[in-house]
Copies of this chain bind each other. A is one copy, B any other.
Amino acid sequence: MEVGNPVSVMRSTALLEQHLPKLPLLPCASFVSSTGIRPVIFKHEAQLNTGDDGAVARQFPKITAASWRHVLKADGFNEASQAMRVAVLFSGGPASGGHNVIVGLKHALAGSTLLGVRCGPKGLLAGDFFEITDEQVEHVRNIGGFDLLGTDRTKIKSDEQVATLRKVCLEHKLDAIVVIGGDDSNTNAAVLAEALFNIKPDGTGVQVIGVPKTMDGDVQQDGLLPLPFGFSTATRIYAELVGNILQDTPSSGKYWHFIKLMGRTASHVALEVALQTHPTITFISEEVREQRRSLQSIIDEIADAVLDRASRGMHHGVVVVPEGLLEFIPEVSDLIAEIERVMVADGSYAGLDRHHRREFFISRVQHLLFGQLPHYIQDMLIADRDSHGNLEVSQIPTERLIADMVAARVDGKVKLLPQTHFFGYEGRCGAPTRFDAMLSYNLGLVAGSLVLDGRTGYMAGFTNYDEGGSPVAIPLVGIMGAERRNGKDEFVISKRLVQLDDPAFLYFAQHRDEWKRDDAFASPGPRQFWGPTAYEMPLTVVINHGYGGFFRV
């Protein structure tokens, strides 16, 4: 047997990773001058009406006065050449396109110093910075992951943390901080913008700009930000996997697959994957809550489909559920709320082992459902909450719970061979789709331009995808409201959930009976970086916003 020279084939990066940085970055026309990529200045557009009776303005007086809750639009190139010191960090879970935001920032801030913050807000408090070089950004162009900087989920809110941060800002002579994160992180950006507003000896402040990231797709602002970056890539990855499994079911003809998709509270991910693939049954959490469905009615619906299809010789199917489903079932949601009240009322469970912890809650929780659930689900419901006060829903094996309950329900009538899957982590760090690569690069250019234009308390936005794209800036105080968390009112950016009158949901609702009855699935395959499908857009935005199927640059 002849042996080749593996050294020429093997490499520390894969072949695709060597080619991706050569793909174009796709800036929108606003940023393209005859001499190259240039930052823009902004003009004021319409004011956002918050309808919060001034509560947000009272909580954030400085950035409210600075922005007047005005949306900003691009208004020509920025001719000044300030040399600023800007720190950038990732906050929260990774999403594809994060590196391209850094590339966009670096390009917009060509005359300035861009400092990378290691490991998110935690690294910001520790002053763990390094200067990001031109070479580094060229290496991570169009590459997935957050690993150039790392990330974490620390929330900066205590007086002590804020004092530390002020010291770090002054020590490192920071002029601005760019926070790339989801709704919680952008809420935190508003807090920081207010806290750092005029902390410098000369009376000026440290500007804070947010960049909307989340594979969940829940940071949307109608007309200003159809989607955050990361959603397109995650849903294309999950849609390939769901499509492959759908393709497998009539081929092997004997399995029912129960698939949970990551995406926290909102069901945008599940809806987008359903539109792309047409699974046998998909549940949308927001509809489940609206109809006040019980867990049993969900099991019944699946069991009925299993039996109906079996009677027609089809012993296979695919059920898709969103990560947050259980929380949207009113009885489960009531139960979780009760558990969280118990947690707040008496923290003594914290040190108990699994068995005694379960006993602790069984003796205190009134809701009948709790005792009816299997132990492995009970344990999940009483687990520690993450630092944002959310239930770690991604850890609850909803897919297994439903598969087990459906199997029990059809037992003796048909032989159900269930397979369960949770698709999550594999969708957060993949190489960005061309859409996410374009969107995140432009968001970086917007954020860098906002910094140079002296703005603070703004979140970068980007819209009009099918007309070449338009930069916008969204005042954070214009999109915040009060929400009850851990028993207290907090000012947060509301998640944009699926609305039952969204055209994308209506399309789904109109076609799902056919998808349940027949094998009318589509298998969209892997996302492509070259060829005729590379410029596809997520179907949710296509349908909701009346866009064509492809984005234009």
- List residues of A whose CB falls within 8 A of some B CB: 1-4, 6, 8-17, 19-20, 90, 93-94, 119, 143-147, 150-152, 222, 237, 240-241, 243-245, 247-248, 250-253, 255, 257, 275-278, 419, 421, 425-431, 503, 507, 511, 520, 522-534, 536, 539, 542-549
Contact = CB atoms under 8 A, between A and B. Distances in A.
Given A431-B526, A526-B526, A532-B19, A6 B240 contact: no
Contact of A244 (B237, B525, B532, B544): B237
Nearest to A420: B422
B151 A252 contact: yes
Question: Which 7 pairs across A and B sit closest by C-beta, in order of nearness?
Answer: A530-B531, A526-B526, A4-B546, A14-B524, A146-B251, A2-B546, A247-B429
Contacts of A526: 237, 240, 430-431, 526-528
B431 A525 contact: yes
Of residues A150, A243, A525, which shows the largest number of chain B Cβ atoms within 10 Å of its Cβ? Answer: A525
A511 to B, nearest CB: 8
Given A248-B94, A526-B430, A15 B147 contact: no
B16 A533 contact: yes
A150 B253 contact: yes
Contacts of A94: 248, 251-252
Given A3-B544, A13-B523, 11 more contacts: A4-B546, A14-B524, A16-B524, A94-B251, A145-B248, A147-B247, A147-B251, A244-B425, A248-B429, A255-B425, A530-B531
Contacts of A528: 16, 526, 528-531
A222 B1 contact: yes
B522 A17 contact: yes
A97 to B, nearest CB: 12
A15 B533 contact: yes
Contact of A545 (B2, B90, B93, B536): B2
Interface SS of A by simple majority: loop
Given A144-B247, A543-B6, A546-B2, A11 B522 contact: yes
A247 B4 CA distance: 29
Which residue, of A15, A247, A277, A542, has the highest number of chain B Cβ atoms within 10 A? A247
A546 B3 contact: yes
A18 to B, nearest CB: 9
B543 A4 contact: yes
B251 A523 contact: no
Nearest to A534: B530
Contact of A523 (B241, B425, B431, B527): B431
A173 to B, nearest CB: 28
A522 to B, nearest CB: 4
16 contacts: A3-B546, A4-B543, A13-B523, A14-B277, A15-B549, A145-B250, A145-B251, A147-B247, A150-B250, A151-B253, A244-B427, A247-B430, A251-B429, A252-B428, A430-B526, A531-B531
Contacts of A150: 250-251, 253
B431 A6 contact: no
Nearest to A526: B526
Contacts of A152: 253
A465 to B, nearest CB: 12
Nearest to A246: B429
A236 to B, nearest CB: 8
B14 A525 contact: yes
A462 B222 CA distance: 56
Contacts of A250: 145, 147, 150
A522 B147 contact: no
A237 B247 CA distance: 15
A419 B547 CA distance: 38
Given A15-B533, A507-B10, A533-B19, A144 B429 contact: no
Nearest to A259: B426
A430 B237 CA distance: 12
Contacts of A425: 244-245, 248, 255, 257, 419
Contacts of A9: 539, 542-543, 548-549
Nearest to A278: B12
A14 B546 contact: no
Given A222-B1, A524-B15, A527-B526, A426 B241 contact: yes
A470 to B, nearest CB: 15
B545 A4 contact: yes
Contacts of A534: 530
A526 B530 CA distance: 12
A464 to B, nearest CB: 12
A523 B15 contact: no
A543 B6 CA distance: 6
Q: Which of A13, A428, A528 has most chain B Cβ within 10 Å?
A: A528
Nearest to A250: B147
B525 A17 contact: yes
